[in-house]
Amino acid sequence: MNHSISLTVNGERRDFVLDDPRVTLLDLLRERLHLTGTKKGCDRGQCGACTILVDGKRINSCLALAISHDGADILTIEGVARGDQLHPVQAAFIAHDGFQCGFCTPGQIMSAIGMMREGQAGNDPERIRECMSGNLCRCGAYAGIVDAVLEAQAGADEASQRRSA
Ligand code: FES
Ligand code: FES
């Protein structure tokens, strides 16, 4: 039996007919929309390579059934830049050598953006490590990742102070 669902992906509404209700958001994004920035690492919720935002919250898309998220708003790594202007977290990853092979990087960046939106970590490196502990990096780029998140967080704090001044 076929199932129809609609998602808003990176600001665009997309309709799908699923012939298998077990298809995950990760496979839908990669195979049907060819949004291959979101990576498949472990495919079992253990590495964070597949992290995306669903309705503003970060999740492991390899564990999420697409059918359970009918109507959801999805943000993937392809949707975070504004044209040629990188998202501040992306720019900070480049500035701080937050990646080597880059395989974990999209998931790390999505997780950092989600964490900042949650208002979880503030400017505490230990807390950032803890909040991003579900995102593994085989290259061990953790020091650069934490520095990048600290810089992006400081920029976000400054922008919000300017807005409220
Ligand atoms: S691929 Fe989803 S957590 Fe590893
Ligand atoms: S940069 Fe290679 S796995 Fe993280």
The rounded Cα 106 to chain-centroid distance in angstroms is 6
H or E element, residue 154: helix 142-164
- CA atoms of 37 and 91, how far apart (whole Å): 16
Q: Is the pLDDT of residue 160 over 80?
A: no
**pTM reported for the whole predicted model:** 0.96
Distance between CA 95 and CA 114 in Å, rounded? 20
The candidate with the shortest Cα–Cα distance to 39, out of 108, 98, 120, 99, is 108
Average pLDDT, integer, range 143-154: 96
Return the ligand number nearest the Cα of 109: 2
Nearest atom, ligand 2, residue 139 CA: 2
Query: Rounded to an integer, what distance in angstroms lies between the CA atom of residue 41 and that of residue 142?
Result: 17
Q: Kind and range of the H or E element at 59?
A: strand 57-60
Ligand (nearest to CA of 104): 2
Show the domains of the chain with their CATH numbers: 3-79 (3.10.20.30), 88-164 (1.10.150.120)
pLDDT digits (tens, 9 = 90+) for 50-92: 999 999 999 999 999 999 999 999 999 999 999 999 999 999 9
